[in-house]
Structure 1
Amino acid sequence: MDPSRRRVLTAGAGIASSLLAGCAELSGDGTGGGEGDSTPQDTDEGTPTDTETETATETDTSDSVSMAPVGEVTFESVPEKWIAYDGAYADMAVALGQSDGITGIGYADRYYTYVYDEIDGVSVDRSVLTENELLGDTIPKEPFYQLDNDVHLMDPNMLINWFGWSQSDVDEITENVAPFFGNLIFRREDKWHDYRYYTLYQAFEKVAQVFQEEERYAAFKEYHDEFIAEVQSQLPPADSRPNVLLVYAAADQPDQFSPYRLNDQGTSKKQWHDLGVSDALAGTGIEGLSTSDRGKIDYETMLDIDPDVIMVRGHERKSPEEFRDTVLAYMQDHEVAGELTAVQNGRVYRGGFLHQGPIQNFFLTERAAQQLFPDTFGEVSGDEQLFDRQRIADIVAGDV
């Protein structure tokens, strides 16, 4: 690595040595596990609890950024080369105009870059992603040396708890290559994550500080708040909104499902929180998918709940029509699934990305609003757009 680009970790007290658990079994969503009831005013995914505290003193200097669990990280210059484990942090960097610097991804197939096709001037080289995937039951250290990045946008405790790393492995890569910077925020159901969580935009702001792109972040935040406020102003009363069952099942003819809890304030449920819908699993005793809970539910369990709407993750490469012709069609012909109210009403939809960044969130919020409230926002398969694609393109291009 060019010494002029070397990044230095100045404090890592936030990575607890007690988190040296073994590699967890990976689920079908390729994340080491799956991912709340809220009012429409909860435009970010909840607030930190009393136990969610920073482990290092926050600084506002131009070259130091603090984030749990890594603590304060000092960068000698703006990172040029970077890698993210998940699509959320990758999307944050792309939103900040850093797409040329990406060298790889944790799981290329679940970083949904097709949304960029609608944003003029925004793209990512997918050949780089597929060539440099950090994918498998274990993640070796060698790719970190080979890619020689300036920052690793991922929570190091994820590597420890999902992929069998030790604290010494994390320290080695930090010292010899570059620091880790990230916090696993897409769900809040893992017992090992006993430090502060961040909302999508809180994490996005931290990444913006790393790349010294605070103006782009501020422009995104301003437009996000305008967009969410406009959508919420058109929502029906709370008691007229549907409840939602969010599950994962990648098969075209699914019979078992991994459940997610909407009352988990992780960022993967942000659109549901902003739209003020309730969790169909509330009060059932069914827990959401996590590193330690691999439970699944079937159609009999669903029938006991009989949700208004079912959202199925694992089908993000399908169009709305393709999803209806496969998954929904199978459910409609199924002896038990066909009795579900949501199936009878045709209210079974694609469930959105597990990992979403700021650009992706605009698209997912638009889609969810149209899935849940088509009379207000238009059909999900229609041409109506709820946000200005060109304004997003301008911000990414630096016209703030």
Structure 2
Amino acid sequence: MSRDDPADEGPTRRGYLTYGGAIVAGGLLAGCASGGGSGDSAGSTDADTPTETPTPTEASDPTETATATESSTETPTQPESYTATMPPVGELTLDEPPSSWVGGLGFSADVLTALGQADGAVGMADPQFWYTGFYDFLDGVSAPATDDLAKFTTSDRDTDLEVLYELDPDLIAFDPNPLIAIYGLERGEAREIRENVAPWFGNESRRKRFGGWTHWPDGEPYPYLSLPEYIPEYAALFGEQERGEALLDLYEPFVDDVRSRVPPESERRSLALVNGQYNPENRDGWVVYNPKSAVEKTWGKKQYRDLNVVDAFEGAYDGQSSVIVDYEGLLEYDPDVIIFNFGVTYRDFQGENYIQQQREVLSDHPVGSQVTAVENGDLYVGGTPYQGPIINMFQTEMAAKQLYPDEFGTYPGYGELSESEQLFDRGRLADIVNGDI
């Protein structure tokens, strides 16, 4: 695979594509612009094919001549296009909606599933982190088995360019900057993929971006996006504006209602958000995360921000996003509730139930068993941070019941809830996803 900067190369196989205000020439676009050969350029006409205006035929009736002249000067109908805007890549216009796409680590995949586009998934940066279990609770909603999706990153934290080229998707629903900053993708390769494979369209706003974060393509820092802000942009790109509006009409009132019902601070139980995979048996302590987002718009821990949680470890992080404590440290801060971050994923991860293992480790330890959350059995499965609107609705409901059972009802454990226990309308959500708007 060439790593040369392709900026000076000729037209690619992609069609005429407006991207960040520039025109990229090509032969086909996300399924299909017919058109010029390899020598064409955007906006040009074929110099060997003169533009002709039909000459009215001779006729005795002057109205026939007038009709022919008017018809010959009508402006041709412009083909429909699909335009959306998202930093850092800017404005993107496609000739037709993408029929295939690759995602990142689960977020954009959930957004696109909510918009009825799950069948288009062909690959992801790492499919094992797309949690699809909540779709089982929505009638008629499904997603491809993650084992069937190609992975385009390697265990050595590199980007597998060969896989991306072989997949040949119509859209890469992912911010290229995590790949550049973490997975070894070079800027020239990002440009080459955009021109030879598919356009990028994503914004990494899971958490605060770390120092050394890259800002491709223009080198300028770009804004974070809140979860709802993605929906109309992806909806526009896929021609699903009506479905996107219906989704927001369900999602936003649900979140507003939950926020309005959070108990006063004096009645909120304190939380420790603990790493769902590691414990002192395989790590040097309990990894406890700050459940409060450093950047307001980030969505990785959105449910805890919306639920205005009381953090048992408030003040312990020393400017970091997490702290490591031993059993004595866990008892010192003594949370009322322990939620295992990434718990839905680590309930069954590569054949291991890490959540049950951690419950047992805590309960069997002479110090750990004294922690209030352990004594009362308030050790819960937490959500995945890669949450689009579907996953976030389920995970907000889940956390609300775990933390504030007097207001939202007790949490019966992971699984389906009876209709009276549900905090949002699953039937309506399923209808939207299935296109019954």
- TM-score normalised according to structure 2 size: 0.72
1:177 aligns with 2:197: yes
The match for 2:254 among 215, 227, 241 is 227
Task: Note the residue ranges of structure 2 that are not aligned, 5 or more in a row.
Answer: 1-11, 23-79, 214-220
Residue aligning to 2:122: 103
**Corresponding residue for residue 10 of structure 1:** 19
Q: Distance in 1 between matches of 2:161 and 2:18?
A: 18
Percent of pairs with identical residues: 37
Q: 1:128 to 1:250 in 2, by over 3 A?
A: closer
Aligned residue for 1:163, secondary structure, equals: coil
Matches of 2:232 and 2:204 in 1, distance apart? Answer: 15
C-alpha displacement at 1:273, in angstroms?
1.4
1:80 counterpart letter in structure 2: S
SS of equivalent residue, structure 1 residue 123: coil
Corresponding residue for residue 428 of structure 2: 391
Contact 1:103 1:128 in 2 (8 A): no
Q: What does residue 315 of structure 1 align with?
A: 343
Matching residue within 148, 151, 164 for 1:144: 164
Aligned to 2:206: 186
CA distance, structure 2, for counterparts of residue 185 and residue 94 of structure 1: 19
TM-score by length of 1: 0.78
1:274 and 1:79 mapped to 2: Cα distance?
A: 33
Q: Does the 8 Å CA contact 2:126/2:151 hold for their aligned counterparts?
A: no
CA contact (8 A) 2:14 2:198 kept: no
Return closer, same or farther for 1:260/1:205 CA change in 2, 3 Å cut-off: farther
Q: Return closer, same or farther for 1:6/1:239 CA change in 2, 3 Å cut-off.
A: farther
Matching of residues 161-172 of structure 1 within 5 Å: 161-172=181-192
Q: For residue 125 of structure 1, give the secondary structure of its aligned residue in structure 2.
A: coil
How far does residue 189 in structure 1 lie from its aligned partner after superposition? 4.5
> Contact conserved, 1:249 with 1:257, CA < 8 A, in 2?
no
Match of 1:332 in 2: 363
Q: Secondary structure at the match of 2:422?
A: coil
Q: Which residue is equivalent to 1:376?
A: 407
Task: Give the Cα–Cα distance (whole angstroms) in 2 for the partners of residues 393 and 258 of structure 1.
Answer: 36
Distance 1:315 1:128, change over 3 A: closer
Deviations 1:45-89, CA, capped at 9 Å, x for gaps: xxxxxxxxxxxxxxxx95332211112222222111101012110
- Taking the TM superposition and a 5 Å limit, the aligned residue runs for 1:173-322 are 173-193=193-213, 194-251=221-278, 256-264=285-293, 265=296, 266-289=298-321, 296-317=324-345, 318=347
CA contact (8 A) 1:242 1:372 kept: yes
Moved more, 378-387 or 194-203: 378-387
Structure of higher RCO (CA pairs closer than 8 Å, 6+ residues apart)? 1
Amino acid of the residue matched to residue 10 of structure 1? Y
Whichever of the two has the greater Rg, that structure is 2
Deviation at 1:12, TM superposition (A): 8.0
Once structures 1 and 2 are overlaid, which stretch shifts more, 105-114 or 379-388?
Answer: 379-388
Q: Which secondary structure state, in structure 2, belongs to the residue aligned with residue 380 of structure 1?
A: coil
**Distance in 1 of aligned mates of 2:435 and 2:120:** 16
TM-aligned CA deviation for residue 276 of structure 1: 1.6
Q: Do the aligned partners of residues 102 and 397 (structure 1) sit closer, same or farther apart at CA in structure 2, a change above 3 Å counting?
A: same
* 1:328 counterpart SS class: helix
Given that 1:247 and 1:312 are in contact with CA atoms closer than 8 Å, whether structure 2 keeps it comes out as: yes
